[in-house]
Amino acid sequence: MRSVHALAATVLSLLAISEIAHAGEKQGGIFRIYHRDSPGSASIHEEATYSTNVPFMPVFNNLVIYKQDVAQNSLDSIVPDLAESWSWSGDKKTLSFKLRQGVKWHDGKPFTSADVKCTFDMLMGKSQQKFRKNPRKSWYDEVADVTTSGDFEVAFNLKRPQPALLALLASGYTPIYSCHVSPAQMRTHPIGTGPFKFVEFKANESIKLVRNPDYWKKGFPHLDGIEFTIIANRSTAILGFVSGKFDMTFPTEVSIPLLKDVKNQAPNAVCVVEPNNVSTNIIVNSSSPPFDSLDIRRALALALDRKAFVNILFEGQADIGGTMLPAPAGLWAMPKEMLETIPGYGPDVNANREEARKLMQKAGYGPDKHLAVKVSTRNIPIYRDPAVILIDQLKSIYIDADLDVVETANWFSKVARKDYALGLNLTGNAVDDPDQSFYENYSCKSERNYTNYCNAEIEKMFDVQSQETDVEKRKKLVWEIDKKIQEDVARPIILHSRTGTCWHPYVKGVTVMVNSSYNGYRYEDVWLDK
Amino acid sequence: MFAYIVRRLVLMLVTLFGISVIIFVLLRIVPGNIVDILFAAAGYVDQADKANLERELGLDQPIVVQYLQWIGGMLRGDLGYSYVSEKPALDEILPRIPITARLAGLALLFSASMGIPLGVISAVKQGTRLDYFLRVVSLSGLSLPSFWLGLLILMASVAMFGTMPIFNPNPKTWTEALAIYCVPALAVGFRSAALTMRITRSSMLEVLRQDYIRTARAKGASEQSVNFHHALKNAILPVITVIGIEAAFLIGGLIVTETVFNIPGVARFLVEAIRWRDYPIVQNLVMLIAVVVVLANFTVDMLYAALDPRIRYTD
């Protein structure tokens, strides 16, 4: 009995604390953020950059969402959003959602299960209305169809079990669109159910959102609105933040060297440096000489001094790992001792390079006969800078590489044509889950598998891990796959970057997510203490 | 005179036609189009989706058809739709013109109002410390890139006043309204003022050595009258030419200044449109700039006759 009383007292005091905390949250104010560039459109489903997610995620809701005040995205941090609850069928092939009632779109029309079906039918290419671009169509490869039962129940019927589907649905990349708003309108004037309504998007100038007074989550959002000022020049943007014109920098956009400037000029600013689940990697054209030779690919992997990349580019603040984001931020990365058994990851760089030179000599190259190649990359500093370091490191194994700088407009068509030998590439992962990373980047049929790496044995392992419901068992499978991919030198991962975000101390309720830079921008619980 | 003006107007039309062809062809020669860029931004290439989008935007049409559609539309006042924002190109371009015009006008005003008097002073005081100082100032103006100067101004502004004059469409005070245009105009006009100063100085030095200046002095004219009434009036022609050319070239300087001060003007918009291969925006904006340049040249030529009675345009 005493314990029941104690429990009741604890619950009551927790509730009281929660009320006090809630009461302390001030209402009102415009949250001012600078935006790094002008997004291609306002349609999250049609874009593949967080330049679109950051300003437009507050306009929408998902079925489920990663809890916005938990920094690490995981299956445990997924909470209901437009869905009130979800359940898996016994055979794990049906994921059912009970939907929230009384939710209205920003134009006043009611939200129903038909909207959910419309959204996923469009994503799967099954509807009359089409997206101009559909970069994440492959996320739903295992979904046979989406069915509704009445206005407030919807079910995803899968071809095979895929527990990670829930993780994909919780991403900032998976908002629910309305049936009655065309994809074209979503690109220019999005209508959502979210905490903020779209006001205007002036290309290269600004994006404005205003509080949705009819938001279904009572008491939210705290802000009257959000204004994004598009400032392409980073120096101007940072100066704007320092001078107080902006409340927060663009999320995860402050580089490590710039962070020092910010802290010097605005010592009170709150700055955090977190991994953003973006890897710097090398795409290797293994379909033509010289990198069709596994020996030369292995020599390439052995030549890499990853610590040098980390020190030069990130002043030591980046992580070394395989495909999956390293721990502690990442959930699926193999342990360090396992990683170090992969060629090129061992701590002794000189010994690695000695081995690499032997492999090169075996392939017919040596001090008197260097291999001439081009390292192609996009004409953007974050691509170009590591490419230059790579070229320098390749010299140590008889490879003379030239930098081939390619304009962004021509990059993907060049890669798709396989018109490159080596490419320096950056890969952002929206969800820290092997299903997203493996299928998107390494599956035989994926459009984003730039190297066309295709290994039937690995492909089978992808499916096995994808269906595994026991997280610990799945982790072990994922480690094996990741190790094998690295050993095949499909797309050597150089590093996983970390970046900074700063805000002024009066900004409260901001959480920078540590294993994805695509999912944490709902901003409904952000408030300004001024 | 009338026949000359008509001939110039016809020549202007021919020039603009030539420019329209060059712009159109050059844009299509540059590798990659909007569809490539849209898919590059999406991180994948789907040939079927690409073909659909090219058809939707009319990029699958032969280049001659595309050109005729553009020119036909322009003659009807229809500039097409921006490929990126999907809004009418006219709606995108029009609001930005006054912003850039204000900035360019202020920069030119700054250039003339600083460059001409200081150039005269420098010439009149040739060989003095003041002349040396002004020559150093003018050389600095020519040497300092405007983006660097702009950033320095912003940094100084933040350090000294805790604020910075970047663009705000709704300024709260008149001082803010003044600052958001005057400070960038100062940054971009400084180089132009320096050039004007140097041209004024050298032109003045040449005129001041003429016999009629000596005669004016001998007749007892005051120094002010000699310098500004007799000398400057005759020395101003090359200065007007330079200011005319500067007006045309200012757009180049405005690109960086608009970027640094985050001004949503025509120049920065043009750069972004080129980056996205937003043909309707680029074509129409470049044509607009071409019209401004051609008109500026025409105005300068007409001003010659007004300023120098010896110049007469005969038929």
Other CB atoms closer than 10 Å to residue A372's CB: what's the count? 10
Token couple for A233? 């020049």
A410 chain-B contacts, CB cut-off 8 A: 31-32, 36
Strand order in the sheet with A270-284: A399-406, A371-378, A422-428, A270-284, A493-503
Residue A280 is predicted with a pLDDT of 97
> Closest chain B residue to A133 measured between Cα atoms?
B49
Look up residue A100 and give its DSSP letter.
P
Q: Which stretches of B125-145 are DSSP H helices? A: 129-143
Q: Distance between CA atoms of A148 and A155, rounded to whole angstroms? A: 6
Residue in chain B closest to A125 (alpha carbons) equals B49
The reply to whether residue B46 touches residue A409, judged by beta carbons under 8 angstroms, is no
Are A103 and A152 contacting, i.e. CB atoms less than 8 angstroms apart?
no
Whether B22 and B16 have beta carbons less than 8 Å apart is answered as no
Q: What is the pLDDT of residues B238-266, one digit of tens each?
A: 898 888 888 877 766 788 889 889 999 98
What contacts A158, CB < 8 A, 6 or more positions away? A92, A93, A94, A95, A142, A143, A144, A165
| 3-class DSSP state of A458 | helix
Mutate: best of A36, A45, A132, A238, partner B, most B CBs <10 A: A132
With a cut of 50, list the residues of chain A below it in pLDDT. 1-21
In 3-state terms, what secondary structure has residue B45?
coil
CB-nearest partner of B86 from A130, A184, A232: A184
Q: Which of A278, A337, A349 is nearest to A307 (CA)?
A: A349
Q: Taking Cα atoms as reference points, which of A236, A239, A232, A234 lies closest to residue A262? A: A239
The torsion angles phi and psi of A272, rounded to 5 degrees, stand at -125, 145
Separation between Cα atoms, residue A88 and residue A92, nearest integer Å = 6
Pairwise CB contact (< 8 Å): A132 & B86: no
Query: What is the least distance, in Å, from the CA of A240 to any CA of chain B?
Result: 7
Cβ-defined contact of B37 to A409 (cutoff 8 Å): yes
Give the chain A residue whose CA is nearest to the CA of B268. A204
What are the C-alpha distances in Å from A453 to residues A293, A415, A417?
13, 13, 14
User: Are A410 and B32 inside 8 Å of each other by CB?
Assistant: yes
Question: Closest partner residue to B43 among A48, A232, A413, by Cβ?
Answer: A48
A464: contact with B, CB 8 A cutoff: no
pLDDT of residue A12: 42
Give the model's pLDDT for residue A194: 98
pLDDT at B177: 82
CA nearest to B87 within chain A:
A188
CB-based contact, A185 to chain B, within 8 Å: no
Q: Which residues, 6 or more positions from A257, have their beta carbon under 8 angstroms from its beta carbon? A: A315
- Which uninterrupted H or E stretch holds A143? strand A143-148
Using a CB-CB distance cutoff of 8 angstroms, which residues of chain A are in contact with residue B39?
Answer: 133, 412-413
Cβ–Cβ under 8 Å, residues A109 and A180: yes
d(Cα B99, Cα B95) in Å, to the nearest integer? 7
Q: Please tell me whether residue A272 adopts helix, strand or coil conformation.
A: strand
> pLDDT value at position B245?
82
Q: Taking Cα atoms as reference points, which of B177, B235, B229 lies closest to residue B201?
A: B235
Between A133, A205, A410, which is nearest B31 by CB?
A410
Q: What three-state secondary structure class fits A422?
A: strand
| A residues 412-441 closer than 8 Å to B (CB) | 412-413, 416
DSSP 3-state of B164: coil
CB A219 within 8 A of CB A463: no
pLDDT digits (tens, 9 = 90+) for A246-297: 999 999 999 998 999 999 999 999 999 999 999 999 999 988 899 999 999 9
State the best of B99, B262, B276 to mutate against chain A, taking most chain A CBs within 10 Å.
Answer: B262
Q: Which of B27, B34, B44, B163 to mutate to test the interface with A (most CBs of A within 10 A)?
A: B44
Of B85, B71, B75, the closest CA to residue B34 belongs to: B85
Prediction pTM value: 0.87
Query: For each of chain B's 315 residues, which pLDDT tens digit applies?
Result: 778 888 888 999 999 999 999 999 998 888 888 888 888 777 777 788 888 888 888 889 999 999 999 999 998 989 999 988 889 999 999 999 999 989 999 999 999 999 999 999 999 999 999 999 999 999 999 998 888 898 899 999 888 888 888 888 888 888 888 888 899 999 889 989 999 999 999 999 999 999 999 999 999 989 889 988 889 888 988 898 888 888 877 766 788 889 889 999 988 899 889 888 899 999 999 998 889 888 888 888 888 777 777 776 665
Q: Note whether A233 contacts B259, CB cutoff 8 Å.
A: yes
Cβ distance A278 to A285 under 8 Å? no
Count A/B contacts: CB-CB distance under 8 Å: 124
Identify the pLDDT of residue A8.
Answer: 44
Interface test with B, best of A122, A128, A133, A242 (most B CBs within 10 A): A133
Amino acid A23: pLDDT: 57
B55 to chain A: nearest residue by CA? A132
Q: Of A180, A86, A79, which is closest to residue A129 (Cα–Cα)?
A: A180
Question: Residue A386's pLDDT is what?
Answer: 96
For B262, the closest chain A residue by CA position comes to A231
Contacts of B40 in chain A (CB under 8 A): 408-409, 411-413
Question: In which residue are the tokens 């600013």 written?
Answer: A269
B163 with A245: Cβ contact below 8 A: yes
Q: Is B160 on the interface with A (CB under 8 A)?
A: no
Per-residue tokens: A228:
């994004």
Choose the closest CB to B164 out of A38, A188, A239.
A239
Q: What ranges in A363-422 are assigned the alpha helix state H?
A: 381-394, 408-416
Establish if B277 touches chain A: CB-CB under 8 angstroms.
yes
Query: How far is A268 from chain B, CA to nearest CA, in Å?
Result: 14
What is the number of alpha carbons within 13 Å of residue B131 lying toward its C-beta?
A: 12
Kindly state whether B264 is in contact with chain A, defined as any CB-CB distance less than 8 angstroms.
yes
| Cβ–Cβ under 8 Å, residues B265 and B93 | no
* Helix (H/G/I), strand (E/B), else coil: B86: coil
Query: In a mutagenesis test of the A interface, which of B30, B49, B260 is the best target, namely the one with the most A β-carbons within 10 Å?
Result: B49
Distance of CA A251 to the CA centre of its chain: 13
C-beta separation of B263 from B184 below 8 A: yes
CA distances from A140 to A42, A169, A178, A454, B248 (A): 22, 10, 19, 20, 54
Using a CB-CB cut-off of 8 Å, the residues of chain B touching A35 are none
Nearest CA in chain B to A412: B40
